[in-house]
Amino acid sequence: MQHFEFEWQTEDGLRLYAQGWQPETEPRGVVCLVHGLGEHSGRYTHLAAFLNRAGYALLAFDLRGHGKSEGQRGYAPSYEVLLDDIANFLAEAAERYPDRPRFLYGHSLGGTLVIEYALCRRPQLAGVIATGPLLRTAFEPPAWKLTLAKIMRSAWPTLALSNELDRQALSRDPEVVRAYNDDPLVHDRLSARLGMDMLQSGLWALEHAAEFPLPLLLVHGGADRLTSAQASREFAAQAGEVCTLKIWDGFYHEIHNEPEQAQVFEYLLGWLESNLRNKQ
């Protein structure tokens, strides 16, 4: 497994950090990963190792305001800017692997972003994977907090408070939760603008699910207390035959960090392999 790092500068002047892992031989395909809220690309090294053994390269970048990338923690000026960042990321992947099939993979906030990116930008990709996407929350946010966020979205969009994430709901593996708590690159900031954009984007995606243009693997933990598995079921029903839905009963939010992660990875690989065969 070969590891490398790179970066690029956004149109508004931020330096975004990215890294990649590739097998010793020419990769059969490239998976381009977008992480979730508050975390960073370095939490996916175990996924990279698995994909490398199967002959796939994995590229990942830290969203603006996350990990080793620049920007105010937990803030983005708009969802369109985040989609632009993904476009630049995919362009980097195409330049590095010009003749390899590319898959766009997103988890949680990243899952919503990759779904919206496919719906809005209609990219030339082999397929999209979304795990635990934030189409709706699995809980009802307090009404007062939503009202405050709506006001501050315009009056003070950069105002960032704790996201109050229930970290015990990430994984049934206590070591995953401990590592998350001890990770200096993890943060709990969420701005009023990004918070409202996240909620509205998920609802918009649900309304437009029938227009999804690419093969989609939609995966959710059935016991996810952070993002709604039922919303993923609704999206899949509307998207139709382009979408493969997999609900893992009893699994928490980070299905790739559950004790049964090996089963999850094998399932993801099976879908990748199937789509590669369809492209040949």
**253 included as an active-site residue:** yes
Confidence of residue 280 (pLDDT cuts 50, 70, 90): low
Catalytic residue among 40, 220, 253, 256: 253
**3 included as an active-site residue:** no
Catalytic residue among 69, 108, 191, 228: 108
The string of pLDDT tens digits covering residues 98-131 is: 999 999 999 999 999 999 999 999 999 999 999 9
**Domains, in order of start, for the chain:** 2-279 (3.40.50.1820)
d(CA 59, CA 109): 17
* Percentage of the residues of the chain whose pLDDT score is greater than 70: 91
Report whether pLDDT(163) > 90: no
Task: Give the mean pLDDT of the chain.
Answer: 93
d(CA 257, CA 43): 10
Report whether pLDDT(151) > 80: no
Report whether pLDDT(161) > 70: no
Report whether pLDDT(219) > 60: yes
Catalytic residue among 224, 228, 232, 256: 224
Q: At CA 82, angle to CA 14 and CA 164, rounded to 5?
A: 95
**224 included as an active-site residue:** yes
Confidence of residue 276 (pLDDT cuts 50, 70, 90): confident
Which residues lie closer than 8 Å to 260 by C-beta, 6 or more apart? 248, 251
State the greatest distance between any 2 C-alpha atoms of the chain, in Å, as a whole number.
55
The residue that leads in pLDDT, 149 or 62, is 62
